[in-house]
Amino acid sequence: MVKLPNFQQFKVLCSQMFRRFFQILLALFLFTAQYCFAQLNNTHLETFQHIDSTKNQQLYFQFNSFSFLKNNEYFGKIADGFTLFGNQFSPKFIYQPAPNVSIEAGIYAWKDFGNDKFTSVKPIFTIKVQKDSSQFLFGNLDGQLNHHLVEPMLNFERVILNRQEFGIQYTKRTSKTFFDSWIDWQQMIYKGSDFQEKIFAGFSWNKRLIQHKNFRLSLPVQLTLQHHGGQITSSKDTNQVVTYTNVALGVEAELKTEGFFQRFKTQNYWLGYRQNSGYNPYFSEGSGIYLNLLAETKVINLMLSYWQSSGFFAEAGGDLYQSIGRVYRNPNQLEKERKLLFFRFMKDWKLIDNLWLTFRFEPYFDLNNHSFEHSEGLFLTYRQGFKVK
């Protein structure tokens, strides 16, 4: 009779297999990076809009809705498992006093299912000025996923949990260049405040070096600064000025094909972290590599990602990628070395004009802890404008 391995032996065996698989995978990444961008495609979840010069002197109403179901089945010491389920709405009026200027005013409302009250209600007011492919914005920013930051530096769930950003922003979008710089003023202080001001700023730049019919090669650079400070707080404990700096340097390549597989993309990053004041009692600096390979097919999109880091921390980054745990009941547990292998299954459906359904299933292996966990997401986005005058 053949003796079957127990569950613990099975997990160890799987870990050994995936370690060997990663050695092969890494070689493939290094090889394909020179021939064939693979970050999560969030196009239908973004909110950026160019100003339409033909709508000069017009007033119109725009309705935006975002319905979400995000379930994280996490049980480790780094990230909490939880479910986000609800709707967010942002109806607003938009007036263009000039061909290149728009003024937006409205309201943002967030309603979770199972909660009789609104989770958040905030005003919307934005002034945009556009010249050619450049846009300057003052007020509510085109934030979160619109920054095109990699997930270790910007948590995908912020599109739900921290959707609104406030401050100033400059963007430039052309066929070969993407540039986004912003200052998001997250927390204001006044004389005697017993908490610090918080500012999230940065830039995201992507320059396409080669653009042929079936092949593209780009170089992205990303930088974020999370600042905690202020000189007028009431508590000495809040006078410690801290700035967390994160940077990402990468290479992206894309190869279009014909048949069942329509496109292959690879996106590979080195990421760095540094904290300037030595205030963080855990890690003052760290780094990581983030490797991605995506295959777009006629049926579904498949993505393989590998994350390996040492002492990495990004305050706005995805929970799983951190070396400092964020588990609610037992926070700040440390795991300096992180090795994660993700398998992602993604699909977007256009239901009608302006209405998109997005599905994601994202299991992953924690290679250090020999564990398997997963998350699922379902998102419905709608945006429609109506002329008023």
CATH code of the domain covering residue 97: 2.40.160
Question: How far is C-alpha 214 from the chain's CA centre?
Answer: 27
User: What pLDDT shows up at residue 45?
Assistant: 87
242 domain residue, yes or no: yes
Q: What is the mean pLDDT of the chain?
A: 89
Strand, helix or coil at 243?
strand
Q: What percent of the chain has pLDDT over 70?
A: 87
Q: How far apart are the first and last CA of the chain?
A: 81
User: What pLDDT shows up at residue 17?
Assistant: 44
In sequence order, which residues have a C-beta less than 8 Å from that of residue 23 and are 6 or more positions away? none
Q: What is the mean pLDDT of residues 313-326?
A: 96
Prediction pTM value: 0.86
Greatest Cα pair distance, the chain, in angstroms, is 83
Contact of 92 with 62, CB cutoff 8 Å: yes
SS3 content of the chain, % helix, strand, coil (to 5): 10, 55, 35
Q: How confident is the model at residue 248 (pLDDT cuts 50, 70, 90)?
A: very high
Report the alpha-carbon distance of residue 11 to residue 37 in Å, rounded: 32
Contact of 54 with 387, CB cutoff 8 Å: no
285 domain residue, yes or no: yes
85 domain residue, yes or no: yes
- The domain tally of the chain equals 1
Q: What is the mean pLDDT of residues 119-142?
A: 97
User: What pLDDT shows up at residue 42?
Assistant: 79
Residue type, 232: I
Q: What is the mean pLDDT of residues 281-306?
A: 94
Contact of 177 with 66, CB cutoff 8 Å: no
Report the alpha-carbon distance of residue 88 to residue 381 in Å, rounded: 10
2 domain residue, yes or no: no
12-55 pLDDT, tens per residue? 544 554 454 444 444 444 444 333 334 567 788 888 899 999 99
1 domain residue, yes or no: no
User: What pLDDT shows up at residue 106?
Assistant: 98
- Burial (Cβ within 10 Å: 0-12, 13-18, ≥19) of residue 118: exposed
Q: Which residue has the tokens 């002034």?
A: 127
264-280 pLDDT, tens per residue? 999 999 999 999 876 66
312 domain residue, yes or no: yes
Report the alpha-carbon distance of residue 337 to residue 283 in Å, rounded: 12
94 lies in which domain range?
7-387
For the chain, how many residues are written? 389
User: What pLDDT shows up at residue 40?
Assistant: 67
51-99 pLDDT, tens per residue? 999 999 999 999 999 999 999 999 999 999 999 999 999 999 999 999 9
User: What pLDDT shows up at residue 240?
Assistant: 79
Q: What are the CA-CA distances from residue 223 to residues 15, 63, 138, 201, 247 (Å)?
A: 33, 32, 21, 8, 4
